[in-house]
Structure 1
């Protein structure tokens, strides 16, 4: 191999196929990183049980009982293994919102109890309340409590921690220590075990918060997509509904004029072409998200389209348009468009009156036609219009009657 190849591949072969730790870590999301940190914090601490048992053995002030000490040291290895398995099961159960699995919990508790008993037998002789005795009895249940912190609530961990501390205090007194010493040992040991378990409990809680934030971001993204789809569907309905209705009316009128041999058919066909071109432009604007309406233009268009369809149309209050802001004009323009679409598609009206009234704090648009209305749920068009008005601080009401149908849209002035 030449020098260039050696420089490229290294003395011991290519390292390109081996992912670096930094790359492996950067490929994870923030929740995955925190989960890995939390999980291995549990595993790392629980795996130190054998090392702690060696330290406890070395701190004994009197020569320990060797058979019991051997069982204690071996039991600490079993405590580490069962506690790691319990923590793993607890973290998985928390992810699915289940309780702590009974099998791993019972196995870890039994191993911890036997190891604690071996610690008492090994280090119980000599000075009552010695550190070797206290921690020989307290270390195994401390590991189990830490593993259970993945699922158990704070109150349960506190009760268990001080329960173990109280049991150790009673044990110290039973071996000959003064009651005051036993009480201090109970409080100190219970507090130490509880704080240790709660520290790991806090790390799990942080992981829960990060997961919830990630889930919330996902929900927000889904809502944004749903809102955009709703906007597109609503705009497409509003844009195409009236224009297609107008094209249908003008097509029928042009056909009738041709059959009767009257002039004006070409004018109606030209109108159809103009409306089709306008529809194409508006659909493109809807796709781009820049669709807007002009109230004055909508009122003029409504008058023209309705008259072409044979509906007598009157418009009052056009002077109010100039005093309105753009948001009010846009939403009222949509209201005019939707009202006209409904007149053309869903009624046999002969007259339609459109009135725009400035009431000071609000502007009210009223569209009334002489077709009989029937009470019932709104369709997608009126529902979408109601949502537009509500977003602008306004409201939409309809008043169907025996000989008329009235649509009222009100927005802040």
Structure 2
């Protein structure tokens, strides 16, 4: 079977929000580091006094340093997010190439007097070699160490003004000026690099927390279900075992009463069957108030701003279950199949009909092929209750409207208490600063 290649937009739309942020952050840093060769060409073009025999070797070193910088930066980000340590096979060439670019840059753009310092590109050549090399190791250093490294690089860059010119009052002034300007620029750039990597770690930490919260919720529900089954079956099965043993003993001895005991076992088993059906029915049934509260918690945990209107609207008991399933399915679709940032849930009356509307602003740019089985099943469920399901999409917004005839509410059924909002999960962040 031959399938057409997926476009970039389709691949991008299929990624989760953390994956998009990860790709955007990584490639932004890679592109900024990859800009070094173009900056080197600009430096050469701005200073015609360069040594022709040294320009090509210097540009080759800049290109090699750029490749190693990007590889080291990539390995550093992986290490910051919990991956393996950066190997020395990257760090050693990075240090050698950075020093080589800075050193050869000083000789490529010679300065013989203090008057030639302002027009020379030596300052930028030295700053490029040491600065881009430091950028590559930002994920491996803390903010404090980055500031210290930035000050050291700025000091070395400023002192480069003395090479070939000597230490005079004029060159000292140039050195101090270039050192201070370099320090300010390096602290800003290195800080932005480190902040970007730190935010990337925070995003993935929050994603792991969200997944863990969902797994804990499932585990808690399983534990509650098993506890209910134990409470229902524990005593019943113990009684069945005792009475069955008693009936077997009476039958073995030929004494009367075995038949009565077995009839009692049958009655207990029938009662247990009714209790199990009641437990399962309780798990299968849906309550509109509980679903609205759960929708708030789930959507906000997924980073979607959620607003619920009309949660005090009186809804009859029969219509509640159908509308609760509509809320559950709509919220599931918003979390799984959309890129929504806001979602609005509205419960209201339309004559003798109770209506739930769920609207979000995250319609995928590439629509999915085919109809989802969840919406088809929901439509069938609503039709069974005499209601109907409608969906619409317009200007990046998607809406689901579920309506069910509700005679119970029309006769003055008591309104539901406002759904209690579930607290959002709180966890301690362990991402390194």
Same-fold status (TM-score > 0.5): yes
- In the alignment, the residues of structure 1 paired with residue 118 and residue 260 of structure 2 have an alpha-carbon distance, to the nearest angstrom, of 108
- In the alignment, the residues of structure 2 paired with residue 98 and residue 130 of structure 1 have an alpha-carbon distance, to the nearest angstrom, of 45
Deviations 1:289-347 (A, max 9, x none): 549xxxxxxxxxxxxxxxxxxxxxxxxxxxxxxxxxxxxxxxxxxxxxxxxxxxxxxxx
Residue 12 of structure 1 corresponds to none
Return the offset for 1:29: 2.1
Residue 243 of structure 1 corresponds to 236
1:107-186 correspondence runs (5 A)? 107-125=93-111, 127-130=116-119, 132-174=121-163, 175-176=165-166, 177-186=170-179
Return the offset for 1:261: 5.1
- In the alignment, the residues of structure 2 paired with residue 275 and residue 134 of structure 1 have an alpha-carbon distance, to the nearest angstrom, of 92
Would the aligned equivalents of 1:72 and 1:116 in 2 still touch at CA under 8 Å? Answer: no
Return the offset for 1:257: 6.2
Return the offset for 1:287: 4.0
Would the aligned equivalents of 1:50 and 1:77 in 2 still touch at CA under 8 Å? Answer: yes
Residue 31 of structure 2 corresponds to 44
> Which residue among 13, 17, 32 is the counterpart of 2:4?
17
Matched, 1:201 2:194: yes
1:215-364 correspondence runs (5 A)? 215-254=208-247, 262=256, 267-288=260-281, 290=283
Q: How many residues align?
A: 275
Would the aligned equivalents of 1:72 and 1:115 in 2 still touch at CA under 8 Å? Answer: yes
Q: Give the stretch that moved more between structures: 124-133 or 189-198.
A: 124-133
> Which residue among 101, 109, 115 is the counterpart of 2:87?
101
Would the aligned equivalents of 2:69 and 2:132 in 1 still touch at CA under 8 Å? Answer: yes
Relative to structure 1, the CA distance from residue 16 to residue 243 in structure 2 (aligned partners, 3 Å threshold; closer, same or farther) is: closer
Matched, 1:32 2:19: yes
Would the aligned equivalents of 2:109 and 2:120 in 1 still touch at CA under 8 Å? Answer: no
- 3-state SS of the aligned residue for 2:86? coil
Deviations 1:73-92 (A, max 9, x none): 22211121111121122223
Please, which runs of 5 or more residues in structure 1 have no aligned partner? 1-14, 292-413
- In the alignment, the residues of structure 1 paired with residue 120 and residue 269 of structure 2 have an alpha-carbon distance, to the nearest angstrom, of 91
Return the offset for 1:101: 2.5
Relative to structure 1, the CA distance from residue 76 to residue 63 in structure 2 (aligned partners, 3 Å threshold; closer, same or farther) is: same
Return the offset for 1:100: 3.4
Return the offset for 1:266: 5.2
Relative to structure 1, the CA distance from residue 144 to residue 284 in structure 2 (aligned partners, 3 Å threshold; closer, same or farther) is: farther
- In the alignment, the residues of structure 2 paired with residue 173 and residue 288 of structure 1 have an alpha-carbon distance, to the nearest angstrom, of 86
Would the aligned equivalents of 1:99 and 1:151 in 2 still touch at CA under 8 Å? Answer: no
Residue 79 of structure 1 corresponds to 65
Residue 51 of structure 2 corresponds to 65
- In the alignment, the residues of structure 2 paired with residue 131 and residue 274 of structure 1 have an alpha-carbon distance, to the nearest angstrom, of 101
- In the alignment, the residues of structure 1 paired with residue 282 and residue 99 of structure 2 have an alpha-carbon distance, to the nearest angstrom, of 68
- In the alignment, the residues of structure 2 paired with residue 288 and residue 146 of structure 1 have an alpha-carbon distance, to the nearest angstrom, of 61
- In the alignment, the residues of structure 2 paired with residue 17 and residue 189 of structure 1 have an alpha-carbon distance, to the nearest angstrom, of 51
Residue 359 of structure 1 corresponds to none
Would the aligned equivalents of 1:165 and 1:186 in 2 still touch at CA under 8 Å? Answer: yes
- 3-state SS of the aligned residue for 2:121? helix
Please, which runs of 5 or more residues in structure 2 have no aligned partner? 285-433
- 3-state SS of the aligned residue for 1:280? helix
